[in-house]
A and B are shown apart, each in its own frame.
Chain A
């Protein structure tokens, strides 16, 4: 005899109500550093292993497209303030407007792992879990780019996957948008640009949005997908104090 319906009903609905209400659960995001007018800016920037922190006149600026939230700048005497939000999406520079009204509740996403370490897919996988449940927002994962409106690419784009990404992009019907996910897709991340990978999705296909992060948490990915249809707004990549 199985009691799961009873326990399930007893436990109630656990799906988050984000974005209509702010998500309050602890640990929903690793957080990211914010720029600060820090006196010892040189000491702070040397903490960063990926060169995301730059000293400027007024303090320390944060380049979020490089930050892998390793949390080294969170502790110690030169710590930067951290913030727990999920609005991470950044405009990648193409002048395409968000997809129109018809896509607001019917957005089909094709996910491609172009050499990612597995963290991004782990987070993207959670979108389908009961807590995040992307279907409530009218977003669906599809198997074929022929049905997809959005190409969601993670990883530093290894040479072997270049053809696949290009083919998937050209196989998509118009209108189409490309979202790069994770810092690897933006600039190679911790892999960089080397003999095995291109290091940057925009070198292969035109990119509309970036979701920085290593990996971006599920709500940040959702934020990016909603930004594709104009339901959320992009933020800036480079934070100046």
Chain B
């Protein structure tokens, strides 16, 4: 029932926008669409806590087969996230829609709603037909969103690139699905999963890899990640939060849905997913570091975060395949947790970037600066988002990245050396990624919010719209809650991870015995006593997070307590406040800024984003392969102007796409030689073809 009501509300939004008037119809449209999103949030929450499977639509269509939608807890979680992202992004979307004419704004809102509806459909799809149908619908809607502003050529080009790679990914993924369906004899996804233990390992590996790389394209998994910064960077500013916060989860969910049952029987697949995730994370953050455009930077950082979530999923599947479902559960929870976290803080940061664009008219980092003074509230929320994405406690990014790294260390339980090496390298790469992410977001917030305004636009920033600031506040709160209430979220995610890896890690992660000392298992009690740890209600008053493994000879315990973190943070803040108060009472003097004795400190003398990351560019110069493009303006033999521009091409572009395009072009050039453009030649070709055919037929007869 909720679905029907929500869909009616979604549909009425664009219809209300058809009414005459400039603002009032859009306010009505916003109210109805937000109400629909709230209904979907409720529905998603119900589904997360609901039964394992609940049928929604069951159609048997002629020729193409069954077209079913079911409601599952994991799908419910993704619907919940999607609806939250849309609900927080809708105020900005409707605000930006006021500039369009009535027809265009209706179309705009209709495409936004189509995206939401197709995503909800995708997260409930249960047969190959409904899966691919919703996937393609979502791809089409996303393409519409990216290319909605067609005044410039950039969004059109980005939209075409997205569409091309999206279709490539879909075809690869579809090939995998068809292979599986052919081998399993059913188009039901659950039926395929049930048939997987009887299929050959080679087929499983091939289909698993095809599904991962094909569907993973939507999440920006290497090598098909070049479209992501182009698309999210050039999309309308109110659309980028939706694209990055919500639609990337499509890719994660798709390959998780297809590959999770396969990877349990094919351990190599999990390893590939883990390694690709780690590699994606590193490549994403490295390119984020050298971006100057705030939206492109955030998009590259989305690639990084998708990589981290993918690595968590891959590690979870590998652990499960090697018979450690509990450890697998921990990694899987970390991966899912990171997906949720990414949706909250990336929506927050993209809304912030949109707000800054409204206030200053630019999203180029080198033209911003000093915005904290002009936009204190937006700047504060933006800083909170940067804290969260850089994995600093008490925000949410910390919990998931910490869980993931801790769980990767437990690879010592797997006795296979290559697996250990793969885990160790992936763990090191992810740790490096975390450090680089911190650098990146110090650079982003520092060069946009701190320092001196570098241009008149930044100096004269207007007020940020409420439609951006208030949702940002909500998301900041959400991100703080997800960080502090980890022990409440993890049991929910543990339940979702259980069917994927075969065990619910909740008992390991959030042990109940912190409420009641008498419920500690005797063995655990002895092990903890031996290492001098005292546990009990007084020690950790709120349920605490713990990664513990007792299978091996030495007990391994990592503990993290949200309550203790809160207490320590409060103590630290209190201490700082006391010290600051004490210092203020003492004799102090106020002085000019020490600028090395300059006559006037000019903005162009200060640190820019480019200079801040120069060490990274130098260290990774071999990876970036920067080259300089020279443009010359000539008049006869004289060079009038010569301009130099440093260019860094994406490694996926360089290493994967360029050779493919080059090869295709070479073949095309070869074929073009046959085309002389003269009628006689073509007649000759036809004659030759006919003779050849006759020969073949005759040979076949004979």
Contact = CB atoms under 8 A, between A and B. Distances in A.
B605 to A, nearest CB: 14
Interface stretch (A12-20, A23-31, A164-172, A199-207): A164-172
- B interface, by DSSP: helix, strand, loop or mixed? loop
Contact of B594 (A161, A163, A167, A174): A167
A72 interface: no
A95 to B, nearest CB: 21
A164 B597 contact: yes
Contacts of B595: 167
A174 B589 contact: yes
A167 B589 contact: no
Nearest to B597: A164
A145 B591 CA distance: 12
A163 B589 contact: no
A93 interface: no
Contact of B597 (A146, A167, A173): A167
Contacts of B594: 144-146, 167-168, 171
Contacts of B60: none
B589 A173 contact: yes
Contacts of A173: 589, 591
* Residue from B591, B595, B597, B599 having most chain A Cβ neighbours under 10 A: B597
Interface in B583-629: 589, 591-592, 594-599
- A interface, by DSSP: helix, strand, loop or mixed? helix
Nearest to B594: A171
A170 B591 CA distance: 7
Contacts of B597: 161, 163-165, 167-168
A194 B316 CA distance: 79
A47 to B, nearest CB: 40
Interface string A156-188: 000001011101101101100000000000000
Contacts of A174: 589
Contacts of A163: 597-599
Contacts of A171: 591-592, 594
Contacts of B592: 167, 170-171
Contacts of A165: 597
B597 to A, nearest CB: 3
A29 B592 CA distance: 40
Contacts of A145: 594
A149 B594 CA distance: 15
A173 B598 CA distance: 19
A167 to B, nearest CB: 5
A136 B592 CA distance: 33
A146 B592 CA distance: 11
Contacts of A161: 597
Nearest to A174: B589
A173 B588 CA distance: 9
A73 to B, nearest CB: 39
Contacts of A164: 596-598
A237 to B, nearest CB: 29
A163 B599 CA distance: 6
Interface in B521-564: none
A145 B596 CA distance: 9
A173 B594 CA distance: 12
Nearest to B599: A163
Contacts of B591: 170-171, 173
A167 B599 CA distance: 9
Nearest to A146: B594
Contacts of B596: 164
A178 to B, nearest CB: 15
A51 B304 CA distance: 74
B666 to A, nearest CB: 58
Contacts of A144: 594
A166 to B, nearest CB: 8
A161 B598 CA distance: 9
A170 B592 CA distance: 7
A103 to B, nearest CB: 17
Nearest to B595: A167
A171 B592 CA distance: 6
A170 B595 CA distance: 12
Nearest to A173: B589
B593 to A, nearest CB: 8
Nearest to B600: A163
Nearest to A143: B596
B591 to A, nearest CB: 6
Nearest to A161: B597
B112 to A, nearest CB: 53
Nearest to B589: A174
Contacts of B589: 173-174
A148 B226 CA distance: 52
Interface string A58-73: 0000000000000000
Contacts of B598: 163-164, 167
Nearest to A171: B594
B602 to A, nearest CB: 14
A168 B592 CA distance: 9
A173 B595 CA distance: 15
A174 B590 CA distance: 11
B700 to A, nearest CB: 84
Nearest to A145: B594
A163 B589 CA distance: 20
A171 to B, nearest CB: 4
A227 to B, nearest CB: 25
A174 B599 CA distance: 23
A108 to B, nearest CB: 14
Interface in A217-235: none
A170 B594 CA distance: 9
A173 B587 CA distance: 11
A176 to B, nearest CB: 11
Nearest to B588: A173
A188 B90 CA distance: 70
A85 to B, nearest CB: 35
Contacts of A167: 592, 594-595, 597-598
24 contacts: A144-B594, A145-B594, A146-B594, A161-B597, A163-B597, A163-B598, A163-B599, A164-B596, A164-B597, A164-B598, A167-B592, A167-B594, A167-B597, A167-B598, A168-B594, A168-B597, A170-B591, A170-B592, A171-B591, A171-B592, A171-B594, A173-B589, A173-B591, A174-B589
Interface of A: 144-146, 161, 163-165, 167-168, 170-171, 173-174
Interface of B: 589, 591-592, 594-599
Please list the 8 inter-chain residue pairs (A to B) with the smallest Cβ-Cβ separation, ordered nearest first: A164-B597, A171-B594, A167-B597, A163-B599, A146-B594, A170-B592, A168-B597, A171-B591
Given A164-B596, A170-B592, A174-B589, 5 more contacts: A146-B594, A167-B594, A167-B598, A170-B591, A173-B589
